[in-house]
Amino acid sequence: MARWIQIVAALFTGLTGLSCLLILAMVAIILGDIVIHGWPSLSWTFLSSAPSADLGGGGVFPAIFGTVALVLLMTVAVVPLGVAAAVYLHEYAPQDSPVVYFVRLALQNLAGVPAIVFGLFGLGLFVRFAGGGLDAIFFGGRLTFGQPCILWAALTLAILTLPTVVVATEESLRAVPRSYREAAYAMGATRWQVTWRVVLPQSVGGMLTGAILAVSRGAGEVAPILFTGAAYYLKDLPSKLNDQFMELGYHVYVLTTQSPDVEKTKPLLYSTVLVLLLVTFALNLVAVLIRSRIRRRLRST
């Protein structure tokens, strides 16, 4: 009997361990494959030059630039909005109100919407409705904002990543002890003062975690920017909010599907994917560094 139990226990330990190993193995295979094939053709020229017009050669600099600009714009849009929404949900709204219920429901649904739907939604709301409206009102109908561009793409991505930021921020607000709030209220603080002086400083780390997750998610998405601003090929870098841009993920897609000679673009493709991973990693690293710096400063005061 005891022997039987020992065998089952060993079996389960083995199974659970194997699952973990599988995860490691998959990550290692993916990363290994990309690095091995992508590394040889990765060069300074590749990073700093534009692709050739037939997409058969050249570099990816415009796509790197576009990706970074897109993600920064998205972060600037999504963090304030997400944090404000989370603060309202957690600090202000009565917890049993139907409004809160429906907002949470909406957020959960938003998180489950396929990315391509966001792309079409962005095209409809931002490009046609908002952009078209702006053109009609301020530019005398001249096509200015009523076209796919980096601003609309960034806002579309911001909506896609909004649930991430709200959930992470709410999590960090929840982690602030109730006793802090009570102590502040007992000293005659208003709700605004409790939120601003006690709760928010304690949850900055969590908000930035939300931003980091949003960056990771946003930097890799192609579908939402397909119709809202990403371009197939551009000679020039975007310099205004209503310019189109190249993006690494989209560039990978274009290289895969549009090249007449697959074998010729293969090394290029591998290198581009490697660059996409590196850029995402670098953006994350920057956010993590900012977060640890802020945390250190908070701790020292």
Partner 1 sequence: MKTILELKGFSAWYDHHLALKEISLEVQDGEILGVIGPAGGGKSTLIRSLNRMNDLDPKFRADGTIRYRGIDLYRDPVDLAVLRRKLGMVFAVPVPLPGSIYQNLAFGPRLNGPGDGLDAQVEKCLRAAFLWEEVKDRLTLSAFSLSGGQQQRLCLARTLMLEPDVLLLDEPCSGLDPLSTAKIEEALQVLKKDVTVVLVTNNVMQASRCADRTAFFLQGRLVECGPTQQIFVNPREKTTRDYVSGRFG
Residues that bind partner 1 (CB under 8 A): 94-96, 177, 179-190, 193, 197-198, 201-202, 298, 301
| Residue 58 near residue 50, CB atoms below 8 Å | yes
Between 128 and 181, name the residue whose CB sits nearer to partner 1.
181
Between 179 and 239, name the residue whose CB sits nearer to partner 1.
179
Burial 115-131 (b: 16+ CB within 10 A, else e): beebbbbbbebbbeebb
Q: Report the alpha-carbon distance of residue 301 to residue 296 in Å, rounded.
A: 9
Number of neighbouring beta carbons within 10 Å of residue 16: 10
| Residue 259 near residue 232, CB atoms below 8 Å | no
Between 72 and 189, name the residue whose CB sits nearer to partner 1.
189
Between 86 and 184, name the residue whose CB sits nearer to partner 1.
184
Q: Minimum distance between the CB of residue 99 and partner 1, rounded to whole angstroms? A: 15
Between 95 and 257, name the residue whose CB sits nearer to partner 1.
95
| Residue 153 near residue 229, CB atoms below 8 Å | yes
Q: Minimum distance between the CB of residue 97 and partner 1, rounded to whole angstroms? A: 10
Q: Report the alpha-carbon distance of residue 55 to residue 36 in Å, rounded.
A: 22
CA distances for 300 relative to 74, 175, 290, angstroms: 31, 20, 16
CA distances for 181 relative to 4, 170, 202, 203, angstroms: 54, 15, 11, 13
Q: Minimum distance between the CB of residue 201 and partner 1, rounded to whole angstroms? A: 7
Between 96 and 261, name the residue whose CB sits nearer to partner 1.
96
Q: Minimum distance between the CB of residue 96 and partner 1, rounded to whole angstroms? A: 7
3-state secondary structure at position 58? strand
Q: Minimum distance between the CB of residue 57 and partner 1, rounded to whole angstroms? A: 56
Q: Minimum distance between the CB of residue 84 and partner 1, rounded to whole angstroms? A: 22
